[in-house]
């Protein structure tokens, strides 16, 4: 029976991760309620998923709170930028889609459709950058200007991965939209899936020394608490 409650027991470890998925998702929802804090809470969400769920380092609340506080100002500014763009473009897009004017000349209708497609593309680009921005902030230190520049390059260079990440986010958002209770579980699960892709991408832009230092820290922590 003692083996059943051993932390290294696979059943116990899996159950612990499932509980943490709920815990982290609920923290993200609570800390996102003021709306303007979504950037900081999303950064903390990624940081906690990466550190606690992926590498079993630290404790959920302490890691979440640490990242939330440390990145609050920078994440909030970045969120205002990408969130503001999404809000403006989304409102214009919806307005153009809903507006109907049968008397409008064909040429103008065609022009309206072109603008509608362009706005959709801007919105997708904004969301794609957001997918990278907050995980990048959770993992690296840089200025807001440099972060936006770097993630724009990373998103373009790794375009196939960017498409996969967009699909993952879209599917998760759709599931939460249709089944709201999934909000207490799916955010952390979605970020966990994204983490495997994003970390593979990020490591390409890290020096060998940075990768080695991080791997050693993860291994040392695992061995110490195993």
Q: What is the pTM of this model?
A: 0.87
| pLDDT at position 1 over 50 | no
Residues 211-223 have a mean pLDDT of 72
**C-beta separation of 24 from 188 below 8 A:** yes
For residue 182, with 0-12 CB atoms within 10 Å meaning exposed, 13-18 middle and 19 or more buried, which class applies? middle
**Range list of H helices, the chain:** 10-32, 38-48, 60-98, 106-139, 144-157, 159-178, 186-202, 208-225
Q: Could you give the CA distance from residue 66 to residue 151 in angstroms, rounded to a whole number?
A: 23
**Chain mean pLDDT for the chain:** 86
Q: Could you give the CA distance from residue 8 to residue 10 in angstroms, rounded to a whole number?
A: 6
Task: Count the Cβ atoms, other than its own, within 10 Å of residue 135.
Answer: 27
Residues 189-216 have a mean pLDDT of 89
| pLDDT at position 207 over 50 | yes
Q: Could you give the CA distance from residue 119 to residue 79 in angstroms, rounded to a whole number?
A: 19
**C-beta separation of 21 from 64 below 8 A:** no
| Radius of gyration of the chain measured on its C-alpha atoms | 20
98: nearest Cα among 112, 108, 84, 87? 112
pLDDT bracket for residue 59 (50, 70, 90): very high
- Among 74-78, 100-104, 192-196, 214-218, the minimum mean pLDDT is found in 100-104
């Amino acid at each position: 029976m003692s083996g059943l409650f051993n932390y290294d027991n696979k059943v116990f470890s899996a159950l612990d991760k499932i509980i943490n998925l709920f815990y982290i998702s609920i923290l993200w929802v609570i800390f996102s309620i003021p709306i303007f804090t979504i950037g900081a809470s999303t950064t903390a969400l990624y940081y906690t998923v990466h550190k606690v769920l992926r590498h079993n380092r630290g404790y959920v609340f302490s890691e979440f709170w640490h990242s939330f506080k440390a990145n609050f100002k920078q994440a909030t500014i970045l969120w205002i930028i990408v969130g503001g763009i999404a809000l403006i473009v989304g409102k214009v897009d919806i307005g153009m889609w809903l507006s109907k004017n049968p008397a409008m000349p064909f040429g103008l209708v065609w022009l309206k459709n072109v603008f509608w497609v362009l706005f959709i593309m801007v919105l997708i680009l904004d969301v794609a950058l957001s997918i990278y921005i907050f995980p990048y902030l959770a993992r690296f230190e840089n200025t807001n200007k440099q972060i936006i520049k770097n993630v724009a390059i990373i998103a373009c260079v790794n375009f196939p991965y960017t498409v996969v990440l967009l699909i993952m986010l879209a599917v998760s958002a759709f599931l939460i939209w249709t089944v709201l209770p999934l909000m207490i579980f799916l955010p952390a699960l979605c970020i966990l899936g994204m983490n495997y892709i994003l970390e593979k991408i990020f490591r390409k832009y890290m020096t060998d020394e940075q990768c080695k230092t991080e791997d050693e820290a993860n291994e040392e922590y695992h061995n110490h608490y195993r």
